[in-house]
Structure formats: structure tokens, C-alpha cells
């Protein structure tokens, strides 16, 4: 688990982010037409998947950016990232040991 929170995540550059008026967004793959909905938290995370920020840094950014962040946010971020990696929307680079 500790190893995972130090992973630096990168969004798949082929995937297009379409932001909407209410802070939700659509992710879509122009090659396959596959589409996914992102809630505002997902959008916040997606915008930080530039290969420089670790999972724990992204979680920390959420904690300092919004009010009423629940304690379980770390788990939510990890679950979300595991999902998008599984779907081929992002990839992670583990820290060198």
C-alpha cells in the first residue's frame, strides 16, 4: 500500500477530457468511442495526472483545496486511480527502490 501511494500517475494522452458547466466531465477515447463520466473529484484528480505527482500528493492537494473532506478520501482516490488504470485511461510509475 505504501508503495502505491508513492506511485506517480500519468493520464493516457490519447484520452480527451470534456469539462461541462457543472464541474463534471466526460472522458472519451476518440479511437474506440468509449466514454466515462467524471464527477468533480475525478476531474480534480485527472488534472493532476501529469507524471510528477504521487498518489499521496494528489490526496493531500484535495485535503487542502476543499472543505469537509472525509477521512476516507485517500481510499477513494486510490480506488479511482486503480479503476482508471484498469480501464487503460492512466498508468503509474512505481518509485525506484
Site for other proteins, rule CB under 8 A:
18-26, 28, 30, 33-35, 37-41, 43-44, 47, 62, 64-70, 73
For 3-34, give the DSSP string. HHHT-EEEE-TTPEEEE-TTS-EEEE-TTT--
Nearest to 65, CA basis, from 93, 43, 80:
43
CA–chain centroid gap for 76, Å, is: 10
Nearest to 56, CA basis, from 95, 97, 84:
95
Minimum Å gap between C-beta 95 and other proteins is: 27
Minimum Å gap between C-beta 18 and other proteins is: 4
Using the minimum distance from each CB to other proteins, give the nearer residue, 5 or 69.
69
Q: Tell me which residue has cell 486511480.
A: 81
Minimum Å gap between C-beta 32 and other proteins is: 10
Using the minimum distance from each CB to other proteins, give the nearer residue, 2 or 67.
67
Using the minimum distance from each CB to other proteins, give the nearer residue, 65 or 96.
65
Minimum Å gap between C-beta 21 and other proteins is: 6
Amino acid at each position: 500500500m505504501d508503495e502505491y501511494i508513492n506511485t506517480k500517475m500519468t493520464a493516457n494522452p490519447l484520452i480527451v477530457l470534456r469539462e461541462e458547466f457543472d464541474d463534471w466531465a466526460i472522458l472519451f477515447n476518440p479511437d474506440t468511442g468509449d466514454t466515462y463520466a467524471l464527477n468533480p473529484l475525478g476531474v480534480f484528480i485527472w488534472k493532476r495526472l501529469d507524471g510528477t505527482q504521487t498518489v499521496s500528493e494528489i490526496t493531500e492537494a484535495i485535503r487542502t483545496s476543499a472543505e469537509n473532506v472525509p477521512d476516507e478520501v485517500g481510499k477513494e482516490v486510490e480506488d479511482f486511480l486503480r479503476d482508471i488504470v484498469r480501464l487503460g485511461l492512466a498508468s503509474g510509475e512505481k518509485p525506484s527502490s
